[in-house]
Each structure stands twice: as structure tokens, then as C-alpha cells.
Amino acid sequence: MEIREEYMRRALHLASKGAGRVSPNPMVGAVIVRGDKIIGEGWHRRCGEAHAEVNAVASVADKELLKDSTMYVTLEPCSHYGKTPPCAELIIRCGIPRVVVGVLDPFEKVSGRGVKMLRDAGVEIEVGLLEDECRKINRRFMAAHSQGRPFIMLKWAQSADGFMSRVDGTPVALSNPLSRMMMHRERSLYDAIMVGTTTVITDNPRLTVRDWCGDSPRCVTFNQHGRLPVDSHIACGERSIILTECLPLEEQMRRLYKEHGVTSLMVEGGACLLQSFINAGLYDDVRVEISTVVLGDGVKAPSLDCEKVLSQTIRGNEIHLKSS
């Protein structure tokens, strides 16, 4: 079959529309082509709703055209029954003869089974078109199912002289309105956000997405030694996850993934919690915001030596993105 990158790029663009809405599912886009014309397209809009392939097929006015078409899909079509039926079965039932897949799904219930189901039914399959791009758009999903723990971002803001708060733990406004809005957008892309018990006691944070239009992540914290205030926002939250057992951090992360379905986690602090993740080597990305504020003294920011991959300045504050 003739394969054209432009159609997979279109599928990638469609997939990106699901950002902040589909997790813990992956972002997926699908384009259906007949000849040199797109006759249908779709993307996964929200977790629990129809997948990209279903929406693409539904958008085709004349279903007979499907029998002489090619579907481009960024991620391997699913082969199992979850909240929705298998997309591979739909493709077979509709008689689509050719499918181009960007990247295989690492999720153990799919992982090559969708492609095998299609091939066994006589569908012509090509895998790997723009694979790097298709993998990158779902890097959190890919990492979680490959590592058996959530994709972890460590995030903090610090003063120009390297402090996160005042000596007594009193928080200081280090972000500016624009950098805070961008941080809330980032929050909307994660399944869950974690803070330590001391942060809950001193700040009583809500950990919601307030300055961006998106879904708020679940809240995660610890209640070891019964220190968590029962009237705190997190303790009272219906979607909160309270970790109580004294287990190694790595085991806690595996449980978050396996028992709670958390595929991406943002760790916001405080300093001791962040340093414990650093010491354990449990992180994938790091976001550090360096403010123009000078404190002179206070709680020191975590110490981390890793590769800086991107930097930008937002109204005077420097944002450094680093990778493990």
C-alpha cells in the first residue's frame, strides 16, 4: 500500500486535542483515506467515551467507502473489552482493508494483540510510521506501562537565592500570574498530584486547576503517624488518595499505578518529599521555576544534577525543564 506521512501527521494533530481530557487513556487520532482524499477522521475526546477509530468511522457518510480505504491511527487499535468494545473488531467488521499504525501499545492487554487480530483477519498492516512522534505524544502513558509505575514529574519554585519558603515553612508567592497559569495547564495533563503531609499542614492546598480550563488531577499525600489533618482539603476530597502504609517509595509508586490506575504523577513538594524522590531516582521530568524574589534565608530547594533540556523566561522568572 502507498503510505503518506501527511495523513499520520493529521492524525497526530487530532490526537493532541485530547490533552488533559483522556488520561489515564492515551491520546489517539485516526484518519481514514480513500484514494488521495480524507473521508473520515476522529480522536479520543474523553476517558470512557468512544475511541478515535470509532469516531473516525462514524464520521464517514458512505460506509461502503470503508471497504476500499486506509486507516491511519497513531496508536495500535485496542483488542480487549474495557469501557468500550475493541477497536480492532470494529475495523474488521467495517471491512477496512488497510491500517497504518504509528506505534504499538505497551499496555499489557493490547501490546501487539490488536495488530495480530487485524492481520489474522486479513487486514494489511504497516507499523512504525512517524513512530517517534507517536510515542512522544503519549510519553507519560508509554513510560507508565513500560515501567510499572507512574510517569513522575518533580516540580517546584524557588527564590533567586535557592529557597522554597521562609525558615518557619511559611509559603512565599514565587510564581507570577502567567507562570502560575502555565503550571495549572501542566497540572491538567497529569492523573494525580502529590504533596507531603507537612505541606498539607502548613498550606492546606486544594491542588486544583483554577487558572486553566481543564480537569483537576487526583490528590495524593501520606498519613503516616496520623499527622494528616482530618479537615484538610485533601483529607476531605472524594478523589484523594491517602497513602498510610510505611512502604518504600518505589513500592508506593507501583501501588499507585497498579491499584489506583495512576499513570502520571506530579510531585509538588515540600522540599523533603521532593528530595526523597531525587535520592531514590524516581523521576522522569523536573520543572524548576526560579523567581526574581530574594529571600536571604529559608527552606532550601532540593539539590539535583541532571540534564537541562529546555529553558524559558516568563515575566522575569526562569523555567528550567530537566530530564532524568
pLDDT (tens digit, 0 to 9) for every residue of the chain, 324 residues total? 789 999 999 999 999 999 989 999 999 999 999 999 999 999 999 998 999 999 999 999 999 999 999 999 999 999 977 777 899 999 999 999 999 999 999 988 888 899 999 999 999 999 999 999 999 999 999 999 999 999 999 999 999 999 999 988 788 999 999 999 999 999 999 999 999 998 999 899 999 998 888 889 999 999 978 899 999 999 998 889 999 878 999 999 999 999 999 999 999 989 999 999 999 999 999 999 999 999 999 999 998 877 767 899 999 999 999 877
Compute CA 311 distance to the chain's CA centroid, rounded to the nearest angstrom.
21
CA angle centred on 283, ends 280 and 286, rounded to 5°: 125
Q: How far apart are CA 261 and CA 113, in angstroms?
A: 21
Given a contact cutoff of 8 angstroms between Cβ atoms, the answer to whether 48 and 67 are in contact is no
- The pTM score is 0.91
Given a contact cutoff of 8 angstroms between Cβ atoms, the answer to whether 154 and 274 are in contact is yes
53 classed as catalytic = yes
Beta bridge partners of 33: 38, 70
Question: 3-class SS at 243?
Answer: strand
Catalytic residue among 41, 53, 186, 268: 53
Q: Which of 135, 8, 131 is nearest to 70 (CA)?
A: 8
Return the C-alpha cell found at 93. 467488521
